[in-house]
Structure 1
Amino acid sequence: MDSTAAWAGLLKVHAALVPLLDQELQAAHGLPLTWYDVLLELNTAPGRQLTMTELGAVAVVSRSRVSRVVDELVKAGLVERVPNPADRRSAFAKLTPAGRARLKAAAPTYLAGIERHFTSHMTKAEATTVASALGKVLRAHEATVVVPLGR
């Protein structure tokens, strides 16, 4: 296998599965995958809030789209913008109780989709190897990118 086969495989799997997961979440919960991702990141953050810069660094949504997605979530009542007392030019995106409830309701659909479309097609050892290899690549990338995280 040449060195680009793993990359090509990653891109093809991503292109095939992300729309499926998005479709399943929207059909079952009216929740786009981009919303789910942002809600998930906020749920695991300290105080269930992050600045736009922090959210852009951790969410799968592109940095340029994160503000638009947060605006949509605010309009839906799932996130609120809270002033940042340390920096008046920025605000936190904070998960609301309604957002947390919506995330919790959608989680079984999301996890079942990952199992059905992804992990069920590999052994536990293969899944561990994939996670380890991708984690190694991600850590190498993160070591070269400097993003201030004021958590």
Structure 2
Amino acid sequence: MSEIPIELDLLGLLKALQTLERNASVSLMYSGLRIPQFRMLNEIDRLDQCTVTELTELLSITRGSCSVQVSELVKNGLLISVEHPSDRRSFYVCLTEHGRAKLSVARRDLGVMQKELKRQLDAASIESLNAFATRMLMGHHPSV
């Protein structure tokens, strides 16, 4: 008996990703953060402080985009910039207490979404999705 080849439903995956992103955006509404802001604050919190250059690499975004986001978050009181002690041209960004509070709310709300997704999936599906995400983030994806 021959196996029937399984086709990858790329358009279905893209639609699912869009739905996942929309649901995450809705979950973040109470915190007042958008997904890019959440990702940035989350990385800064993880490192305690970092430079714009480090953020561009961690978030895989352009320096210009990163600078605009950092400026917006500083203006909104979620980040502060601190002069680099050995290089006066450079600076670190750190979370403010207000930024930590918003990040905490966002994490809580995304945690609710994560629990709901986990409830809907079996362990093998979760493992496959996590492995797929890891491969994609490490650059092991098909060339276009």
- TM-score for the superposition, normalised by structure 2: 0.77
Matches within 5 A, 1:13-24: 13-24=16-27
Most deviating of 126-135 and 86-95: 86-95
Report whether the alignment pairs 1:81 with 2:81: yes
Secondary structure of 1:42 counterpart:
helix
Once the 2 structures are TM-superposed, how far is the Cα of residue 13 of structure 1 from its aligned partner?
Answer: 2.4
Q: 1:24 corresponds to which letter in structure 2?
A: S
Secondary structure of 2:138 counterpart:
helix
Task: Output the CA distance in 1 between the equivalents of 2:65 and 2:9.
Answer: 27
Report whether the alignment pairs 1:121 with 2:141: no
Task: Output the CA distance in 2 between the equivalents of 1:91 and 1:6.
Answer: 45
Secondary structure of 1:70 counterpart:
helix
Once the 2 structures are TM-superposed, how far is the Cα of residue 50 of structure 1 from its aligned partner?
Answer: 1.2
Q: 1:112/1:82 Cα in 2 relative to 1: closer, same or farther (>3 Å)?
A: same
Aligned to 1:130: 129
Once the 2 structures are TM-superposed, how far is the Cα of residue 9 of structure 1 from its aligned partner?
Answer: 4.5
Task: Output the CA distance in 2 between the equivalents of 1:113 and 1:23.
Answer: 10
Aligned to 2:55: 55
Aligned to 1:38: 40
Question: Stretches of 4+ moved more than 6 A in 1?
Answer: none
Query: How many residue pairs align between the two structures?
Result: 134
- TM-score for the superposition, normalised by structure 1: 0.74
Q: 2:19 corresponds to which letter in structure 1?
A: A
Instruction: Note the aligned Cα RMSD (angstroms).
Output: 2.2
Secondary structure of 2:77 counterpart:
coil
Answer with 1 or 2: which has the greater Rg.
Answer: 2
Q: Deviations over 1:1-53 (max 9, x none)?
A: 23xx2654543222222122112312x222222221111111111xx111112
Q: Which structure: greater helix fraction?
A: 1
Unaligned stretches of 5+ residues in structure 1: 142-151
CA contact (8 A) 1:23 1:32 kept: no
